[in-house]
Chains A and B, each alone.
Chain A
Amino acid sequence: MLKPLKVLIVEDEALLAMELESLIEDAGHEVVGWATSSSEARELIDTVDADIAFVDIHLTDGPTGVDVAEYIVGKDNSMVVFMTANSKRIPENYAGAVGVIAKPYTMAGLNSALRYLQEGVREPPPVSTCPTGFTLSPDYQSAWSPSHN
């Protein structure tokens, strides 16, 4: 049995954040915080212990999600997964993030992604195959799923 994930949510829309929080908790994981802006996200990641951050590209202070991802990855304590409907705004190197969950996601899609990420965080590389609706960044593609290269 793998240890549950501690998740930080970085999302400007209150309803989406609330829904994501209940889905994550229903899947047996813990939400350690919710940030709506890049500054809140930086403050939170400095004070809470998160395994993974789900980061929307567009936040209340603009399209600052990529900067947030770079900051979190730079601290080297937590992984980042983007959650966006517009993956074109993600840079080619994914700012060091694991990958992207496309919005809108389904409950089943999110649960598979959470299981896959739990394996990737606790005992990398994951044993499950990368679920649909979840796209790995080029770096994690070669680290976690080399056969696909």
Chain B
Amino acid sequence: MEFKPTRESPDAWHMTDDLHAEHGKGDPFAAAIRATRMSMIITDPRKADNPIVFVNDAFLRLTGYSRNEVLGSNCRFLQGPDTDRQSVERVRQAIQANSDISIDILNYRKDGSAFWNALYISPVSNDRGEVQFFFASQLDVTDRKESEHRVKADKERFEAAVKERTRELEEALEAQTVLIHEVDHRVKNNLQMVASLIVMQKRTIKDEETRHSLDAMLSRIEALGTVHRRLYQSKDVSRFDLADFADDLISDLLTASGHSEIRKELDLQPVIISAHKATPVALMMNELVTNALKHAFKNGGDESLKGTLGVRLHNHGEHINIEIADDGVGFDGKQENSTSFGTRLIHSLARQLRAEVTWENANPGTRVKIKLPADEMQ
């Protein structure tokens, strides 16, 4: 390896290896850099291809090269097959821009083994601001990089496992939802068959009272059918939207009553209850709306006297309030015939639901209020 003295400032040679015999001695800073365990080199950018002009022993121990093999060479001999090209480019750009850089880069020893190099390069300028040298230190951080890689690989593995498990659970939930929807669908179809049986049986019956009983049974069964239709149409199989149901129920019952002239006044807030509570609530509403419709057009058969059906569904936090009102003949302060099956049904369902049911004279007509405890509905 040959180095010729240049015409530059003598300081520039202060630490170069080929002059150390004369110049380095007696300089405590130079001695410290030679002896430190931190690998360090100096390159000279004013020479062609920015060659190494000084290496300390720590660099030689780290890389496995001898001093003669590296002096005068550009540092790129440390690169190898798996060295990241982008990192090399960043180092090149920093040197070109005379700026310093700190970067972890994969380097190779003389024996071909790779190590992670925490490289730090900084330019050294003279008084005039001209860059004279680049000073570079190298630190073997292979252990740290490997554990970083291990942590990253573990994290990726866990994330993949979680993703896979989530996908499995979503599929299972999807399958379960499909099954429950199928069950609700079948229940609804069977209820429809029961309803058809009742309709057919009714045709053969002359007695008015029996026909009315069958009609009442029909509307109860159809209300249950509506519950199951709403359940298999809903995304969440465990929840039941009472407002949607009420809307359906009222339309169905109005159509069935054959009195399309009755006005609807609906005020339905969204109220979601547990699917388990859907059946008793639905049956109770069916009874009350049926009663209201019966009374709403009992105005003496005068078609010009249009009845009104009012239904309110409000969520008051602790309570769910349902109000069903008609402007018909009212009940004259007298309780609905308390021995009728419909009334008994309302009272029994109210007990099951812990609901308060009150009848008020609305002048004209009747207003029934149902107060459901919200926590019982979840």
Residues of A in contact with B (beta carbons under 8 Å apart): 12-15, 17-18, 34, 36, 60
* Interface residue count on the B side (C-beta < 8 Å): 10
Can you list 20 contacts pairing A with B, beta carbon distance less than 8 Å? A12-B352, A13-B352, A14-B280, A14-B345, A14-B348, A14-B349, A14-B351, A14-B352, A15-B283, A15-B348, A17-B348, A18-B344, A18-B345, A18-B348, A34-B351, A36-B351, A36-B352, A60-B352, A60-B354, A60-B376
Chain A contacts of B349 at CB under 8 A?
14
Binary A-proximity of B333-374 (CB < 8 A = 1, otherwise 0): 000000000001100110110100000000000000000000
**Chain B residues closer than 8 Å to A18, beta-carbon distance:** 344-345, 348
Collect the chain B residues with CB atoms within 8 Å of residue A36's CB. 351-352
Chain B: minimal CB distance from A35 (Å): 10
Expressed in whole angstroms, the Cα–Cα distance for A13 and B280 within the complex equals 9
Residues of A within 8 A of B351 (CB): 14, 34, 36
- Alpha-carbon distance between A15 and B351 when the two chains are bound, in angstroms: 11
Q: Which residue of B lies closest to A40 (CB)?
A: B351
> In this complex, what residue of A is CB-closest to B283?
A15
Residues of B within 8 A of A15 (CB): 283, 348
- Give Cα distance in the complex from A14 to B345, angstroms: 8
- Tell me the bound Cα distance from A138 to B89 in angstroms: 87
Please name 12 further chain A to chain B contacts, defined as beta carbons within 8 Å, in addition to the given A18-B345, A36-B352, sorted by A numbering: A12-B352, A13-B352, A14-B345, A14-B349, A14-B351, A15-B283, A15-B348, A18-B344, A34-B351, A36-B351, A60-B352, A60-B354
Q: Quote the shortest CB–CB distance from A105 to chain B (angstroms).
A: 19
Nearest Cβ in chain B — how far from A24, in angstroms?
15
Residues of A within 8 A of B376 (CB): 60
- Complex CA gap A121/B299 in Å reads 56
* Most B Cβ at <10 Å: residue of A13, A15, A36, A60: A15
Closest to B344 in A: A18
Residue numbers in A under 8 Å from B283 (CB-CB): 15
A18 to B349, CA, bound (A): 10
Residue of B nearest to A37 (CB): B354
Bound-state Cα–Cα, A44 to B310, Å: 38
A34 to B344, CA, bound (A): 13
In the bound complex, what is the Cα–Cα distance between A34 and B280 (angstroms)?
17
* Nearest chain B CB to A21 CB, angstrom units: 9
Nearest-Cβ distance from residue B85 to partner chain A, whole angstroms: 67
The 4 tightest CB contacts between A and B, nearest first, are A14-B348, A14-B352, A14-B349, A18-B348
Cα-based distance from A13 to B277 in the complex (angstroms):
11
Q: Name the residue in B345, B348, B354 with the highest tally of chain A Cβ atoms < 10 Å from its Cβ.
A: B348
Q: What are the residues of chain A within 8 A of B345 when measuring CB–CB? A: 14, 18
**Chain B residues positioned under 8 Å from A12 (CB to CB):** 352
Chain A residues positioned under 8 Å from B280 (CB to CB): 14
Proximity bits, B262-287, A CB within 8 Å = 1, else 0: 00000000000000000010010000
Rounded to whole angstroms, the CA-CA distance of A34 and B345 in the bound complex is 14
B107 to chain A, nearest CB (A): 69
How distant is A91 from chain B, measured CB to nearest CB, in Å?
Answer: 25
Closest to A21 in B: B348
A73 to B349, CA, bound (A): 28
Give CA–CA (A60, B373) in the complex, Å. Answer: 13
Closest CB-CB distance, B376 to chain A, in whole Å? 8
A42 CB to nearest chain B CB (Å): 16
Contact with A along B283-301 (1 / 0, CB 8 A): 1000000000000000000
Residue with the greatest number of chain A CB neighbours at <10 A, chosen from B280, B351, B354:
B351
In the bound assembly, the distance between CA atoms of A13 and B354 in angstroms comes to 12
Bound Cα distance A75, B186 (Å): 45
| Chain A residues within an 8 Å CB radius of B348 | 14-15, 17-18
A14 vs B284: C-alpha distance when bound (angstroms):
11
A36 and B348 alpha carbons, distance in the complex (Å): 10
Q: How far is the CB of A49 from chain B (nearest CB, A)?
A: 22
CB within 8 Å of A: which B209-263 residues: none
A18, B280: Cα distance in complex, Å: 13
* Chain A residue at minimal CB-CB distance from B347: A14
A35, closest chain B residue (CB)? B351
How far in angstroms is the closest Cβ of chain A from B158?
A: 38
Shortest CB-to-CB span from A113 to chain B, Å, is 23
Q: Kindly provide the distance from the CB of B169 to the nearest chain A CB, expressed in whole angstroms.
A: 27
- What residues of chain B lie closer than 8 Å to A60, measured between beta carbons? 352, 354, 376
Instruction: Give the most central of B280, B349, B351, B352: most A CB within 10 Å.
Output: B352
Interface centre among A13, A14, A17, A36 (most CB of B within 10 A): A14
A14 contacts which chain B residues (CB < 8 A)?
280, 345, 348-349, 351-352
CA A60 to CA B376, docked complex, whole Å: 9
Closest residue to B349 on the A side, CB-wise? Answer: A14
A62 to chain B, nearest CB (A): 13
- Complex CA–CA separation, A106 to B53 (angstroms): 104
